[in-house]
Structure 1
């Protein structure tokens, strides 16, 4: 696992856009119009930038998989963050859907623990490299990194078929939220 550099931003965005194109949680907050894929790219660009500021962006050694890690306890409100949030609303969510997205985020965040944690925001593998163990290898390295930092890992998924995969790595469902889909909240102590 290697830390992604700014020059690999487009690669990370493309891997995640392809990996999450049909994700219920993402499609809940973005407008599903002719610009849907462009909006998903904008979300992934935002996520990359936020993790560069307050977390880590990792690629697997083959550069076919990536993970975005956020440390919520390190996040600060700065002019850059306000600008990124504004661009997210304009380029991804849309002004008319902003309150829906903010309500969703509020419901999620109030279920987070008070102590610091390691947030696995996104993990994805290029479709050509899926089902070859690359995601499992990357997740194992993320777990090792979180253990070095002595931080529990939290994540959410709306893809129920992924839950057994996470459970193989000792993640447990600690909460669920019902939107127009079920969002499963998982934690690995």
Structure 2
């Protein structure tokens, strides 16, 4: 496992686009009538820079898997992140839908500790034939959390992923269904 850098942007974004075309929570962000793949690419670029700014991009040695995971308190305001988020919001979410999306994201954030002293496992993407890449990243991130003696928080809107997280030691502490979209989120925590 290695830390990602700016030169890894295309690799990370392409893996994320490939993985999130079928993710209901990600797809629901994109305004109907917009190109889903372009919207996911825009979102992936935004999350790439937010994670890069927080030293939170991790790439498997075979480059078949990536994880965006960082100490939540790390990083400060970045104008570049703000512009990317603003562009995504205007072009792919739309002004009418923005309050609902912001409310959903605020609710998700409130389910984690307010002090921000934890690792946030934001996104994971892997090629189907990546082999041991997922285990390499999992083990590396768990080791990082153990050394820092910090928990890892994540959430998923894919039930299959929730079961995988639990298989690796995460505990589901809340399930929430978004009233407007009926999309379920599983909130999970892993303790070192």
Kept in 2, the 8 Å contact 1:121–1:155? The answer is yes
Match of 2:188? 186
* CA drift at 1:183: 0.3
Alignment partners' CA distance in 1, 2:78 and 2:132: 39
Kept in 2, the 8 Å contact 1:29–1:101? The answer is yes
Match of 2:127? 126
Deviations 1:81-106 (A, max 9, x none): 33232122134323332112101011
* CA drift at 1:75: 4.3
Match of 2:153? 154
Alignment partners' CA distance in 1, 2:32 and 2:41: 13
State the aligned residue count.
187
Deviations 1:61-118 (A, max 9, x none): 0001000123332343343333232122134323332112101011111111134110
124 and 34 in structure 1: CA distance in 2 versus 1, 3 angstrom threshold: same
94 and 127 in structure 1: CA distance in 2 versus 1, 3 angstrom threshold: farther
Answer with 77-86 or 168-177: which moved more: 77-86
105 and 75 in structure 1: CA distance in 2 versus 1, 3 angstrom threshold: farther
Kept in 2, the 8 Å contact 1:18–1:127? The answer is no
Does 2:142 match 1:140?
no
Kept in 1, the 8 Å contact 2:61–2:133? The answer is no
Kept in 1, the 8 Å contact 2:121–2:152? The answer is yes
TM-score, structure 2 as length reference: 0.89
Equivalent runs, 1:48-67 vs 2, <5 Å? 48-67=48-67
Alignment partners' CA distance in 1, 2:26 and 2:64: 21
Unaligned 5+ segments in structure 2 are none
* CA drift at 1:16: 0.9
* CA drift at 1:34: 4.7
Partner SS for 1:95: coil
TM-score, structure 1 as length reference: 0.91
Unaligned 5+ segments in structure 1 are none
Alignment partners' CA distance in 2, 1:59 and 1:77: 24
Kept in 2, the 8 Å contact 1:29–1:100? The answer is no
Partner SS for 2:18: helix
Does 2:32 match 1:28?
no
Kept in 2, the 8 Å contact 1:118–1:151? The answer is yes
Answer with 66-75 or 178-187: which moved more: 66-75
Deviations 1:142-172 (A, max 9, x none): 1111111221101111111122221122100
* CA drift at 1:20: 1.2
